[in-house]
């Protein structure tokens, strides 16, 4: 039986120029291991951290700042799970460098509440079971907050569109839509109630 040697080594026969300058080494070894000092404004606080330039905001939030509320599902921008607010806009923390976030206020799920007062979205998501496993919830809450900040009375198509970059595998999104609608109503009328069908299914 012939032995096939497969290893991580680059194939020697390649002509690098032909590949438009693309590199073949799987991971550069060594390189600049210098850490930069960053002051990030996260949830209204200035937090300082020293990190290498290649670290993403997601990694810094979770691993350096202990803000593990921000989750991740692919780290390639394909699921929306790691969404946070940067300058008030939802962005994917897996595709933003920490060093590009200085001077840009960041809000994570941990910063949605105003002290002990939860944001209406947090309440309605919990109340309607819009957080099932809860893993996509922090990202969706951030996207939904940006929506309500810009549009306090969104229609269902507007909610769908605003949340279309956030995958959820549990809910079929319906309770999420209903929770956003209810939160929008709560912002105007704190006593707003969910529809009976939302809670019990359709009665006849």
Of 35-54, binders to other proteins (CB under 8 A) are 52-54
Q: Which of 39, 48, 50, 74 binds other proteins (CB under 8 A)?
A: 74
Whichever of 166 and 181 has its CB closer to other proteins, that residue is: 166
What is the footprint of other proteins within residues 92-131 (CB under 8 A)? 92, 94-97, 99-100, 108-110, 112-113, 118, 121-123, 125-131
**What x-and-dash track marks residues 159-188 binding other proteins by CB under 8 A?**
xxxxxxxxxxxxxxxxxxx-----------
Single out the residue of 178, 188, 123, 122 nearest to residue 153, CA to CA: 188
- CA pair distance 180, 199, nearest whole angstrom: 15
Q: Which residue has the tokens 């105003």?
A: 114
89 counts as binding other proteins under rule CB under 8 A:
yes
Among 42, 60, 91, 107, binds other proteins (CB under 8 A): 91
DSSP three-state, residue 54: coil
Q: Which distant-in-sequence residues (6+ apart) come within 8 Å of 56 by Cβ? A: 75, 93, 94, 95, 96, 97, 98
In the block, tokens 């194939």 appear at 11
d(CA 46, CA 9): 44
For the bound state, the minimum distance from the C-beta of residue 56 to other proteins, rounded and expressed in Å, comes to 7
* Min dist. Cβ of residue 107 to other proteins (A): 11
Check residue 69 for interaction with other proteins (CB under 8 A): yes
> If you search the block for the tokens 């599902």, which residue do you land on?
73
Judged by beta carbon, residue 175 or residue 186, the one nearer other proteins is 175
Query: Per rule CB under 8 A, is residue 12 in the interface with other proteins?
Result: no
Q: Smallest gap, in angstroms, from Cβ of residue 39 to other proteins?
A: 15
Chosen residue from 31, 149, 153, 188 binding other proteins by CB under 8 A: 31
Q: Which residues contact 81 (CB under 8 A, 6 or more apart)?
A: 71, 72, 73, 74, 135, 136, 138, 139, 166, 167
């Amino acid at each position: 039986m012939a032995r096939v040697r497969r290893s991580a080594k680059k194939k020697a026969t390649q002509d690098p120029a032909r590949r438009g300058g693309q590199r073949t080494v799987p991971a550069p070894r060594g390189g600049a291991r210098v850490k930069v000092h960053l002051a990030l404004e996260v949830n209204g606080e200035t937090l300082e951290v020293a990190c290498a330039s290649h670290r993403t905001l997601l990694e810094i939030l979770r691993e350096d700042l202990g803000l593990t509320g921000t989750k991740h599902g692919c780290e390639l921008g394909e699921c929306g799970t790691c969404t946070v607010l940067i300058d008030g806009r939802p962005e994917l923390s897996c595709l933003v460098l920490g060093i590009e976030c200085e001077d840009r206020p960041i809000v994570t799920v941990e910063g949605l509440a105003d002290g002990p007062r939860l944001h209406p979205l947090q309440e309605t998501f919990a109340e309607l079971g819009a957080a099932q496993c809860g893993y996509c919830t922090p990202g969706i809450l951030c996207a939904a907050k940006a929506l309500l900040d810009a549009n306090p009375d969104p229609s269902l198509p507007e909610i769908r569109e605003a949340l279309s970059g956030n995958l959820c595998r549990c809910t079929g999104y319906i309770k999420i839509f209903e929770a956003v609608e209810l939160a929008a109503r709560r912002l105007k009328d704190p006593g707003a109630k969910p529809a009976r069908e939302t809670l019990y299914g359709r009665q006849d």
